Chains A and B, each alone.
Chain A
Amino acid sequence: MSDFVFATAQYESGDWDSAPLVPANIIDTIARYTSIDVAPSGVIVPLSSPSLFRYPLVYLTGHLPVRFGPSERTNLQRYAERGGLLFVDDHNHDIDGVFHKTATEEISRTFGVPKPLVKTHPIYKSFFHFEDGPPTTSHELNGWGDNLVHKSLSGVERDGRLVLLYSSKDYSSEWNYHPENKRFLSVDNTKFAVNIVVYALTR
């Protein structure tokens, strides 16, 4: 059976493991809402490793500056060409913070300049329908950090398929809790993760 395995990117610079509970939470969400066979635990995959190609979706986050080494960049470029999707989320939720600046620079050098995604992008209806675009996070609504709602995600596409999805909305903070605590939420705030996973598996 070819299970979907949630992969977290390990990169040479920065704190790649800043959101350790996100994989378990997303795995729980996938299992709840879909019939996708998902492996019960995630994996950590170095960006420069050939094993990167085993995972159609790789999640990358952090607080600190990001710099890709030459082998990481080459690997990521091939990964994008071969059908992979890299989901990068700024764990800071600020404007022009160090992670945002460095990550967008590295993304531009590696994949091309990311462009804002329109509300009608297929990723917003790949499973659940998000008519208003990306769901806002509690950090945005509570006015923490930059006190700003980032209205859109951005991405880089190849032949009509996203190869890079970039978020400044700090989903890493939003989803970084134990899945058992979902019962305390009136609305499951991890549903958008299902869209990302389904998009990655079906495009």
Chain B
Amino acid sequence: MRSRAERRRVGEWVLRAALFAVLLVALWRSLQRTDTSRVARTTSATAFSKDLERIVASNAVGSVDLATDAMPSRADRDALVALRRNGVAVRWNGSPPPLALEATRAREPEARARLHIIGGGAQVLALVDSAGLLDSVRAGAGATVDAASIVGTVRVGAGTFAATAHAPKQETRRAVLVLGRADWETKFVMQALSEAGWVVRARIPAAPNVDVRDDGILPIDTARYDVVVALDSSS
């Protein structure tokens, strides 16, 4: 059976632990304290840039409720991030339509731009770049548009919403080396590659110890060739 002194010691530790817990809760609550004197500002994506000055000028704005009636511009999005990092809560509401745009480059030397669009439903979407209208498309579940060249940023809009993309830079293509026998298959592969815009070089055996080659005597390496096509005509 514990002595009176031991019971008192246990009791002291329990009370200390309880007090410590109370202090922790108080500290936590003090950090979560909301300033009831700060107000919530309701605005919309289209009106945000006009309201921003008033929001920033006022110390009383504690939160911003943004209705997504349009796609906020990049500057507006940056401003919202800045407000949030400075303690102003940002809440979004609304249901913007799903719309996405990606721009890639074809692998061929011509490097046409390929634009992949998703969204917009059945409505006709206009694809524009910095120079003007590129094309119009009903994307729905997805559509791809090829463009010979695009200038600047590509944009596709659905009402007040838009998606933008930049196409990767064009890469310089090196030659293609074709290895094959002297037959029509090699010939037409070379021609097809030429028609696709590739610079074609060939090494073709025409007789024992006789190779027809137009790539000189330099070794095959990636400094000269992007692709080596070896045709197995024995199959």
Residues of A within 8 A of B (CB): 1-5, 33-37, 54-56, 82-83, 122, 126-127, 159, 198, 200-203
Contacts and interface: CB of A to CB of B under 8 A. Distances in A.
Contact of A4 (B183, B190, B207): B183
B184 A201 contact: yes
24 contacts: A2-B183, A2-B185, A4-B183, A33-B207, A34-B206, A34-B210, A35-B206, A36-B181, A37-B183, A56-B184, A56-B188, A82-B195, A83-B187, A83-B190, A198-B212, A201-B183, A201-B184, A201-B187, A201-B204, A201-B206, A202-B204, A202-B214, A203-B190, A203-B214
Interface string B175-195: 000000111111110110011
Interface of B: 181-188, 190-191, 194-195, 202, 204-208, 210, 212, 214, 233
A202 B188 contact: no
A136 to B, nearest CB: 24
B184 A202 contact: no
A200 B187 contact: yes
A127 B207 contact: yes
Q: Is the interface of A mostly helix, strand, loop or mixed?
A: loop
A35 B204 CA distance: 11
A83 B212 contact: no
A54 B184 CA distance: 8
A54 B188 CA distance: 9
A47 to B, nearest CB: 18
Nearest to B205: A35
Contacts of A200: 187
B209 to A, nearest CB: 10
B104 to A, nearest CB: 28
Given A82-B191, A159-B194, A35 B184 contact: no
Contact of B191 (A33, A83, A127): A83
Contacts of B194: 83, 159
A34 B182 contact: yes
A122 B184 CA distance: 19
B188 A36 contact: no
Nearest to B203: A202
Contacts of B204: 201-202
